[in-house]
Structure 1
Amino acid sequence: MERVMKMRFKCCFIFLVTVCSGKLFAEDTSCDLPQIENGNLAQYYYSFKSYYFPMHKGKKLSYSCVVGYTTESGTQEGRITCTAKGWSPVPRCYRKCTKPLLENGSFYSTEMDFKIHEKLQYKCNPGYHTPSGATEDTVQCQPQGWSFQPSCTKKLGITCSTLSEVAHGSFYPVKKIYEEGDVVHFFCDKHYSLTGFDLIQCYNFGWYPDPPVCEDVKNKCPPPPLPHGHISTARRTYHNGDKIHVQCTLGRRGSEEMQCEGGKWTSPSVCIGTVDKQESEASPPLEADTEIRASQTHHNEDMKMQQDCASPPVIKNGGVLGPLLASYKNGSWVEYGCQHYHFLDGPSTVYCDHGNWTEQPTCLEPCILNVTDMDSNNLTLKWRREELIFLHGDLIEFECKEGYGFLQTAIPSPGRTQCDHGRLKYPKCVIQAAAEKCGSPPSIANGALTLPALPQYDTGSSVQYICSDYHFLQGSERIYCSEGQWTSPPVCIEPCTLSKTEMEKNNVLLQAFYADQVYFYHGDYVGFYCKQNHFGAESGTTLFQVQCNRGQLSYPRCVERGKQVWT
């Protein structure tokens, strides 16, 4: 019985050890030879695969990417670790990003290849913009390629609808097409006034604000004077037919509703103040109170005189349009206007408020263009007009005379200036030398233009080159015309052609990774190894990496074992 128990214990022990050791072995040898596309390990790992693999957990390997590829971090070599779940991180080699094509723009970098995560900044030629609408942008090299395709597209002119004629008025400038940023100024004929804003501007969504209309001044009423009361829908101007409802603080004389007719209010409503209410409700005074009543009457007259206003204040370059009265009671109003071409800034209607006039407007002076100043700055008006007078706030657009250009070209719309309190700053134009043109771009060996060549090109124009198959483009793929001269064109470097004869002569074989590849770019590395029982004649090694240099490959030489020459 004891012997049976010992046998069972021994079997269980062996079973547990086998299971445990098997589990440990499975965890400890979970990584096989990694397959790395566009990358490889040292050759001896492939030659002695059964010896090195599977590898134990915790072991580390270094791998390298072939020319033209990098790890995700942008380096040529990577390092991986064997874990229970396999190799970590997963070894991968990504294709380097080649400088993309770009029409109507240029790159800040002259490099041709970019590593993963590397950035490339570019700018667009004048009149063109990036996909985001800016003049410059940056793309980044990512494992799947560039973050987006850089492009420069021509700016589309944003226009606004044509303005229709204004009844009893006009506007300036009159154009067939209005572009974004254009400002239009509206005027009304005599005895007519604007309803709305006199300046509107063209935006990318249309005109703002809406164009105004010209109405007969007789058909407009000013805000009604309402001491001791108010209206629920107060406005600056009321039109013929408008009705208002008056709300008095204490009491009212007259109708609750008033209407604007022919520039005047009908059925005027008067709100009764505290003093008036007391007087209206007071009983007839007693004879004994004669002295007190006389004192109150005198006090009321003083109060009344204090509430009246003197004549309306005089303003420069403007005056009172009406009404002109001998005296102005508390709550009276007058309307101001400016001289022709002067801009009214502030409220046009001014009220008498307990003996004082409310704030008066100011009349801002216009700008009168000086032909002498325009000539000295080599300017002409962009839009033709009879009068050379602009109101305060008007935008004035100049352009340079023929053969001249704006001195400040870095700012947007250098020819635009604004009338400011009768003063304006003239932009300056300077003489420009005639820009020389370039002839046909130079031809290059083993390469050609992407588009047919023209006989002549303007300054700032560019052309793009492309190389023949397997030829390496060195330099900038795009050249520019500058003052009659082209910038330096690129060079197309020929590839290396693999020679079976040279390989046989030197007893070398091509690594499996490069199988079926005959042509190699300039700068690419080619992997060779010695035939069986052969070693490097000079180095004694069996694995070689040879770089293609301008179409030439220096083949390694291998000799049979015992015949190598050590150096």
Structure 2
Amino acid sequence: MRFKSCFFFLVMMNSGKLFAEDKFCDLPHVENGRIAPYYYSFKGYYFPMRKGKNLSYSCAAGYTTETGTQEGRITCTVKGWSPVPQCYKKCTKPLLEHGIFYGTETYFKIHEKLQYKCNQGYHAPSGGTEDTLQCQSDGWSSQATCTKKVESCQVPELHHGSYFTTQRELQVNEALLYKCDEGYHTAGGNATEAAVCLPHGWSLTPKCSKKTCPSLGAIEHGGFYPVKKIYEEGDVVHFFCEENYSFREFDLIQCYYFGWYPDPPVCEDVRNKCPPPPLPPHARISADRRTYHSGDRVRIQCQSEYEIRGSGEIQCEKGKWTSPPICLEIQQNCTSPPAIKNGVLLGPLLPSYTNGDSVEYGCQRYYILDGPSTIYCEQGNWTEQPTCLDPCILNVTDMNSNNIELKWRQEELIFLHGDLVEFECKQGYKFLHTTETSPGRTRCDRGRLKYPKCVFQVPVEKCDSPPSIANGALTLPPLTQYDNGSSVQYSCSDYYFLQGSERIYCSEGQWTSPPLCIEPCTLSKDEMEKNNVLLESFYENQVYFYHGDYIGFYCKQNHFGAESGATLFQVQCKRGQLLYPRCVERRK
């Protein structure tokens, strides 16, 4: 009995020791980022980690941590990793035409907002003159645009879908109904949707998109689950290998809107050879070759300023390496942080800085910070400090010599790095012949500005009054004479279909071709009675139909189509002509 008590006491002591050294945190998953590849290769050795251990992770290109940095640091706690490692899409100040932003910042952190205002005569997507964007985990909450108020909307080309009308232009507040082909979805994620023409354009531009990934082929020496013919966005596929085979990296992939990521893995034979030996952070190997067999040994050495913990030699055994050592930092302090041109050190100001300390920088007025605003002390050296990019100061002499002036008046002739500057030619001058759509636009680049050039404009011949068209007229009373480049707009009489461009232009004394007004079809009750057909209820009380419209008819009771035998018909209006279907009485 006494022996059993002692045994129980020893087991409890041993259990208490294990509990005190309990491990809490598994290998973290960092979407759009990762930790050092070394930790993935030796997951079983490092994880789970004990409380108080730190781990660094880095975000992929175009992503940052929530604080706006490229790298983050997390700590293992009893509740898991803190903070949870996350990488967000970095928000960069977008381009904006016909409007201005409030504020001069270039980069934005998650949840930060950016407000802008549109120029007179232009509207934001909300319909007002101002709107606000917010930096979210996948980019800006919406697109910053300023569009000119319109009176009608052109029907866009639609792939993988069809419209319920043949009209090519709709007026403001009119709805455009469309549907997508099987396997595709509308801009709002539905099979059928209606887009409304608003003063600033379509409420949601018609578009049909696919949200599936291709099927996966067979995996040599392995397999995967689940197996589907079609995978939808968000689906995750897990892979597994046969005995004596293993993956080099990830064992799962996911279906995104752009396809599979990452690529499907490959099962490699690990029976008689090992992969290249793992290289712990801040370490190097004594020799390196492509192939290693069971029994091969490799010595690992730490870099300077790091000390080794564990055996410095690893061995290949049955396709796997024995546990490698760890290289721990030899703590070193940093001197005062470096100064930057046209910038200031915001602090904190200390006599000396220990490993892991940080300081923050800012730029003088009109200068833009390029690089991380915060730098860190790492083993006696500061991480790379940022720079302050110069603004552009307009030179009035250069503007006069190029015969240009600012398109939008402002008090100060100073633009920040990255700002878009828009010029226009002085009266009597024009831009040099160029293929650019907006030759007057240029961008401030680190204090340098490339000025566009305007030359004297030779007067061109004017146009007389525009031609008249049948069944249509100009939207405004005609003038006796028009300048080169001027335009006029036509409209057709009620129910007449406008074919061609509604707007023509004066080009060197000649007008471009005017449109045609195609007559509508007029419903004839005599023809309907003569052919024993009735009008579908959808078209009830409608007498006139546009060229190209379809009209639905059906046979009277106890009648059927004389040619086809059908009872329902769709007839198209073609240039004022309507070919009525003919129904005959069913014989008893």
TM-score after normalising by structure 1: 0.30
Identify, as 1 or 2, the structure richer in helix.
1
Of the two structures, which has the highest relative contact order with CA contacts closer than 8 Å and spacing of 6 or more? 1
